[in-house]
Amino acid sequence: MYRGDRRIGSITNPFAKVKHFSSSNINTSPDPNRITWDDLMTDEYFNAVKEEYTSSKHQPFHEQPLGFNPNEPIVWIDIETSGLDINKDKILEISCVITDSNLNLISEHESMVINYPEEFINKNFSEWCKKQHMLSGLTDDVRTSTLTIKDAEINLVKFLNRFTRKLQTNLAGNSIHFDKQFLQKEMPLVDSIFPHRLIDVSSFGELCKRWNPQLYAQRPAKVKLHRSRADIYESIREMMFYRKYIFSNLLRK
């Protein structure tokens, strides 16, 4: 196998060569058969890996995850919490919106606020949360709510079961790994619906900021109310922006 006039080598076992690859030998090894960073970035190398992996001694190669459906709905969830510490803080509010794969609204569940006693509010809210949740009205809603976390979980599972397939429908949002951590702890039935693959709008933003700062500067402004329903729609609006200006050419093909 050749790239230009430099030998890459016949990759009969690309995995054996990959294990020798490290940042310390990028473009510095005198061995012409040693894989370099440039080698890893070629189509030839990836095709060789795929060819090896599709041989009879390996399991079948799948272009997409098993059961993948490009028209699968997307579940958008946002939570408000008493703080950032997964070990001691709690979900105060949760909202959920379902869109199709093109970000068109399918359905939404009303926001659910969880009741906690005054003692919890005074002792467990972080200083930022005390100020922000008071301004947004969430603290008062926590005081007057009659919902428990279990009530909210059961309501949300019933709603999600109408639109999702277990482990097939992706969870989306801004920094959605944060929300998923709290779901794992406090709403395991909800969390169990979703696969490990997440659609994190924040990742698109971080890459756009690095690779196209002019476009990033034009992204939709955020009000930052820090109420779950409003934050979800800001996330969807931001994803619509990236879809239009980053993926539009691909979508037209």
What radius of gyration, in Å, describes the C-alpha atoms of the chain? 24
Question: For residue 180, what pLDDT is reported?
Answer: 98
Q: At what angle do helices 201-211 and 228-246 cross, to 10 degrees?
A: 40
Pairwise CA distance, residues 75 & 46, whole Å: 33
Question: For residue 211, what pLDDT is reported?
Answer: 95
Confidence of residue 74 (pLDDT cuts 50, 70, 90): very high
CATH of 74-252, one of 3.40.50.360, 3.30.420.10, 3.30.565.10, 1.10.600.10: 3.30.420.10
| Total Cβ atoms within 10 A of residue 112 | 21
pLDDT in tens, 150-189: 999 999 999 999 999 999 999 999 999 999 999 999 999 9
pLDDT in tens, 94-145: 999 999 999 999 999 999 999 999 999 999 999 999 999 999 999 999 999 9
Distance of CA 57 to the CA centre of its chain: 33
Helix segments in 172-247, DSSP class H: 176-186, 188-191, 201-211, 213-216, 228-246
Domains of the chain, residue spans: 2-53, 74-252
Residue 226 annotated to the active site:
yes
Is the per-residue pLDDT at 76 higher than 90? yes
Question: For residue 25, what pLDDT is reported?
Answer: 45
CB 11 within 8 A of CB 48: yes
Question: For residue 141, what pLDDT is reported?
Answer: 98
Question: For residue 71, what pLDDT is reported?
Answer: 86
Nearest to 93 by CA among 157, 158, 137: 137
Question: For residue 69, what pLDDT is reported?
Answer: 77
**Average pLDDT rounded to a whole number, residues 178-205:** 97
| Total Cβ atoms within 10 A of residue 121 | 18
From the list 58, 109, 177, 226, the catalytic residue is 226
Question: For residue 53, what pLDDT is reported?
Answer: 61
**Average pLDDT rounded to a whole number, residues 184-198:** 97
Instruction: Please give the C-alpha separations between residue 122 and each of 126, 129, 134, 163, 244, in angstroms, as whole numbers.
Output: 9, 11, 12, 38, 44
